[in-house]
């Protein structure tokens, strides 16, 4: 009965985010691109082509959070035409997104991210990823899920041309 009353008075929202980045060995200057996912650098021959550090998983997560709060999307708040965001660590974008939500009275409940990448295997990095995200989100690591999948060599992910990420989140009104 207590749970029922709690849910009735609590404003809860869900959000979903999606992002894709192209994979390449070097940028336009011929510099090696890093592969950054969920705030962790993964050793690989290719990295994401992007204005920022190309962390598709964090971009999907930012969009999910902004979507849950109906605050627009990542391109609205952190445009890829702005010099200040060139090469930026996407963990900083996540921190700023959480600040935007907090300013509107929202708290992050839990997040669930899925990364689709053919290679390399990211299972060894998942615990580090969860810790990075939890710190930036200001929530317990137990409320942060990161999952990985391949696409069975199908599509652009399967051809190792890109990385795809999805995120689902729950946010709620700050209680105090
Ligand atoms: Mg992106």
Q: How far apart are the CA of 172 and the centre of ligand 1, in A?
A: 25
pLDDT at 151 over 90: yes
Q: How far apart are the CA of 1 and the centre of ligand 1, in A?
A: 43
Q: Confidence band (pLDDT; 50, 70, 90) for 29? A: confident
Q: How far apart are the CA of 8 and the centre of ligand 1, in A?
A: 36
Least confident range from 21-30, 36-45, 161-170: namely 21-30
Please name which of 23, 40, 48 lies closest in space to residue 123, comparing C-alpha atoms. 40
Q: Confidence band (pLDDT; 50, 70, 90) for 2? A: low
Please state the rounded mean pLDDT for residues 10-38: 94
Please name which of 14, 99, 93, 10 lies closest in space to residue 51, comparing C-alpha atoms. 93
CA distance 118 to 49: 17
| Torsions phi, psi for 82 (to 5 deg) | -85, 130
Q: How far apart are the CA of 7 and the centre of ligand 1, in A?
A: 34
Q: Confidence band (pLDDT; 50, 70, 90) for 3? A: low
The region that residue 38 occupies, defined by phi over 0 for left and psi between -120 and 50 for alpha, beta otherwise, is left
CA distance 170 to 69: 10
Q: How far apart are the CA of 77 and the centre of ligand 1, in A?
A: 13
Q: How far apart are the CA of 21 and the centre of ligand 1, in A?
A: 6
Q: What are the structural domain ranges in the chain?
A: 17-173
The pLDDT value given to residue 163: 98
Please name which of 75, 71, 78, 89 lies closest in space to residue 18, comparing C-alpha atoms. 75
Q: How far apart are the CA of 84 and the centre of ligand 1, in A?
A: 16
Q: How far apart are the CA of 9 and the centre of ligand 1, in A?
A: 35
pLDDT at 176 over 90: no
Q: How far apart are the CA of 3 and the centre of ligand 1, in A?
A: 38
Fold for domain 17-173?
60s Ribosomal Protein L30; Chain: A; (3.30.1330)
What does the block give as tokens for 117? 């990448």
The pLDDT value given to residue 91: 97
CA distance 135 to 120: 25
The pLDDT value given to residue 82: 82
Q: Confidence band (pLDDT; 50, 70, 90) for 51? A: confident
pLDDT at 4 over 70: no
**pLDDT tens digit string along 76-126?**
998 888 888 888 899 999 999 999 999 999 999 999 999 999 999 999 999
Q: How far apart are the CA of 55 and the centre of ligand 1, in A?
A: 7
Q: Confidence band (pLDDT; 50, 70, 90) for 174? A: confident
pTM, 2 dp: 0.92
Q: Confidence band (pLDDT; 50, 70, 90) for 175? A: low
């Amino acid at each position: 009965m207590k749970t029922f009353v709690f849910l009735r008075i609590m404003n809860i929202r869900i959000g979903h985010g999606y992002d894709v980045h192209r994979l390449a060995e070097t940028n336009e200057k011929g510099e090696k691109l890093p592969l950054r996912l969920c705030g962790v650098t993964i050793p690989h021959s290719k990295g994401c082509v992007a204005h920022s550090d190309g962390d598709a998983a964090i971009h999907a997560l930012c969009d999910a959070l902004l979507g849950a709060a109906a605050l627009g999307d990542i391109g609205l708040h952190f445009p890829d035409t702005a010099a200040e965001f060139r090469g930026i660590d996407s963990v900083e974008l996540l921190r700023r997104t959480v600040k935007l939500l907090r300013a509107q009275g929202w708290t992050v409940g839990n997040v669930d991210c899925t990364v689709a990448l053919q290679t390399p295997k990211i299972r060894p990095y998942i615990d580090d990823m969860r810790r990075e995200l939890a710190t930036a989100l200001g929530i317990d690591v137990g409320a942060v899920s990161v999952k990985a999948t391949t696409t069975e060599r199908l599509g652009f992910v399967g051809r190792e041309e890109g990385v795809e990420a999805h995120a689902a989140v729950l946010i709620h009104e700050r209680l105090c």
